[in-house]
């Protein structure tokens, strides 16, 4: 699937962008402090930073507008998405921070070109790249954030799913559930999430004992991975093709824990 590929490229490219941005800002700041000339090296470093950031933003826009299940869900009910911290982050906060970073980088680049003295060029290059990096750092979904993608991949036993998740594995799965499922299904799985208000049909109540008994593990895992349309259910349920098998199994086990 295209989404996991683009997501992986987008995630890894951020380190290159951050590295180039920091290098450009530090190089110009140090050169200005020493009254050094604005060399071809400084100009190329700034250019590479802006080019890498442009590519990063382009990949982000492709996911934002077409590929991401998060924004796809948020666009269905923007008002409901605003009540979910995870959906609001990806729909508004993350996007705004990245666009602001892009603006800072390009404005800084233009101002450098218009400057006539080396000191001014270094000053504007350092400020442009530095502010862009700050915006990037603010807008990145870091692992310590509640809506970040878990760094660790979880291993879940197929048998005894209600006992499989404990300790750190349970906490990581809760974060993943809160990010991918809670906006519609609610934090307790009752189908009462903030984005569920205008959804027809209503999201599944995972606590329903009849549903828990009648539904096989394989069915839960498939709908998590492929979305509602793939199994003849609501097309409002997005796919999660970027998740690993361990992630999907962990979410299935977490859903099983919600049985009343």
Which helix (H) or strand (E) element contains residue 194? none
Q: What does pTM read for this prediction?
A: 0.71
Backbone phi, psi, residue 41, to 5°:
-60, -45
- Nearest Cα to Cα of residue 196 among 69, 72, 80: 80
- Nearest Cα to Cα of residue 258 among 186, 194, 196: 186
Q: Buried b vs exposed e over 142-161: b needs ≥16 C-beta within 10 Å?
A: eeeeebbbbeeebebeeeeb
Q: What is the pLDDT of residue 158?
A: 37
Residue 258 tokens read as 């919600």
In this predicted structure, the answer to whether residue 41 has a pLDDT above a threshold of 60 is: yes
Q: What is the pLDDT of residue 168?
A: 85
Q: What is the pLDDT of residue 147?
A: 64
Q: With bands split at pLDDT 50, 70 and 90, how would you rate the model's confidence at 55?
A: very high
Q: What is the pLDDT of residue 148?
A: 64
Q: Are 180 and 73 in contact (CB under 8 A)?
A: no
- Among residues of the chain, what percentage have pLDDT more than 90? 56
Q: What is the pLDDT of residue 18?
A: 97
Q: What is the pLDDT of residue 81?
A: 75
In this predicted structure, the answer to whether residue 130 has a pLDDT above a threshold of 90 is: yes
In this predicted structure, the answer to whether residue 123 has a pLDDT above a threshold of 60 is: yes
Q: What is the pLDDT of residue 162?
A: 42
pLDDT in tens, 203-214: 899 999 999 999
Residue spans per domain, the chain: 1-139, 167-258
How is domain 167-258 classified at the CATH fold level? Cytochrome Bc1 Complex; Chain D, domain 2 (1.10.760)
Q: Is the peptide bond before 201 cis (omega within 30 degrees of 0)?
A: yes
Q: What is the pLDDT of residue 194?
A: 83
In this predicted structure, the answer to whether residue 176 has a pLDDT above a threshold of 60 is: yes
- Residue 247, class by beta-carbon neighbours within 10 Å (0-12 exposed, 13-18 middle, 19+ buried)? buried
In this predicted structure, the answer to whether residue 113 has a pLDDT above a threshold of 50 is: yes
Q: What is the pLDDT of residue 136?
A: 97
Q: With bands split at pLDDT 50, 70 and 90, how would you rate the model's confidence at 1?
A: low
DSSP state, 65?
I
Kindly report the average pLDDT of the chain as a whole number.
87
The three-state secondary structure class of 36 is coil
Alpha helices in 66-216 (DSSP H): 69-76, 78-82, 85-88, 94-114, 118-139, 161-164, 167-180, 182-185, 209-214
Mean pLDDT value of segment 108-118: 96
Distance CA 178, CA 146 (A): 8
CA distances from residue 201 to 53, 184, 233 in whole angstroms, order as listed: 40, 11, 9
- Nearest Cα to Cα of residue 72 among 235, 210, 185, 187: 235
* Greater model confidence, 50 or 232: 50
């Amino acid at each position: 699937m295209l989404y996991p590929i683009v997501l992986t490229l987008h995630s890894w490219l951020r380190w290159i962008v951050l590295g180039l941005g920091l290098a450009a800002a530090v190089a110009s700041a140090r050169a200005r402090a020493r009254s050094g000339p604005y060399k071809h090296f400084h100009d190329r470093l700034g250019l590479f930073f802006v080019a890498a950031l442009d590519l990063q933003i382009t990949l982000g826009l492709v996911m934002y507008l077409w590929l991401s299940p998060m924004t796809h869900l948020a666009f269905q009910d923007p008002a409901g998405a605003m009540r979910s911290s995870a959906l609001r982050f990806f729909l508004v906060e993350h996007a705004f921070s990245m666009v602001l970073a892009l603006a800072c980088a390009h404005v800084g680049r233009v101002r450098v070109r218009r400057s006539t003295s080396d000191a001014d060029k270094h000053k504007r290059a350092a400020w442009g790249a530095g502010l862009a990096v700050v915006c990037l750092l603010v807008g990145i979904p870091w692992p310590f954030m509640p809506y970040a993608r878990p760094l660790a991949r979880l291993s879940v036993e197929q048998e005894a799913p209600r006992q499989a998740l404990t300790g750190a594995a349970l906490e990581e799965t809760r974060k993943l559930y809160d990010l991918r499922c809670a906006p519609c299904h609610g934090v307790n799985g009752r189908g009462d999430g903030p984005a569920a208000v205008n959804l027809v049909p209503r999201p599944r109540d995972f606590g329903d004992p009849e549903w828990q008994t009648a539904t096989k593990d394989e069915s839960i895992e498939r709908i998590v991975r492929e979305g509602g349309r793939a199994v003849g259910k609501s097309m409002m349920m997005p796919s999660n093709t970027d998740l690993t098998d361990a992630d999907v199994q962990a979410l299935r086990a977490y859903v099983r824990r919600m049985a009343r």
